[in-house]
Structure 1
């Protein structure tokens, strides 16, 4: 039965209440994903869950001034309960490199290409 006092967005929370807290706020995560979606689109790539998660892992590592290789990205995703195979992660990293979104550093770690960082407005 329709109730005009309930939100129509599928949420059970009344308007004006917080859905999440801190870094796990769903609205913040969507905003971050929108940045990554824009980045992929600007490089002519489709958005996929694995690309979003891999780029997010690299961004998180960069914010912590760490670098991640294939194993590091894979471990990070497993820690987040995202069950992707090592080979899938490696192939996504390879494809993002070939498209110029990320670069393979001499120490075998990955980072955003300067053009991609500029598209995300980070230094």
Structure 2
């Protein structure tokens, strides 16, 4: 279904993170999105809002030295007011995993593939 609030041309979506969350600054998110866009392009994937946000969630978790399951990623996106179904999130995670961007850990959590994490760090 078409959502007029979501970008269709690969541009940044407006951020509605609550002021108290302190998770992102406008400038920080744009720079982070650019890195993620380049990562997706290097894996031959198109940029989409859900892919940007899923990778951002995993990147944030990696910085805290943890990994996230499907429910945690879905909750993260809901907290950012990105209304996606649980199934959509699961399918994106599966696709990113099959393309080698992320890995499925033995505990059914997801984390960035070491190669992808190194690319995002600029190594």
Using structure 1 for the length normalisation, give the TM-score.
0.77
Give the structure, 1 or 2, with the largest relative contact order (CA under 8 Å, sep 6 or more). 2
Q: Distance in 2 between matches of 1:25 and 1:69?
A: 25
Residues 120 and 99 (structure 1), Cα distance of their counterparts in 2 relative to 1, 3 Å cut: same
Which structure: larger Rg? 1
Residues 60 and 122 (structure 1), Cα distance of their counterparts in 2 relative to 1, 3 Å cut: farther
Using structure 2 for the length normalisation, give the TM-score.
0.77
Alignment map for 1:26-37 (pairs within 5 Å): 26-37=26-37
Deviation at 1:25, TM superposition (A): 2.5
In structure 2, what is the equivalent of residue 6 of structure 1?
none
Runs of 4+ in 1 over 4 A off after TM superposition: none
The C-alpha deviation readout for 1:30-80, integer Å capped at 9, x for no partner, is 000000000000101000000000000111111122221001100111111
For the aligned residue pairs, the C-alpha RMSD in angstroms reads: 1.8
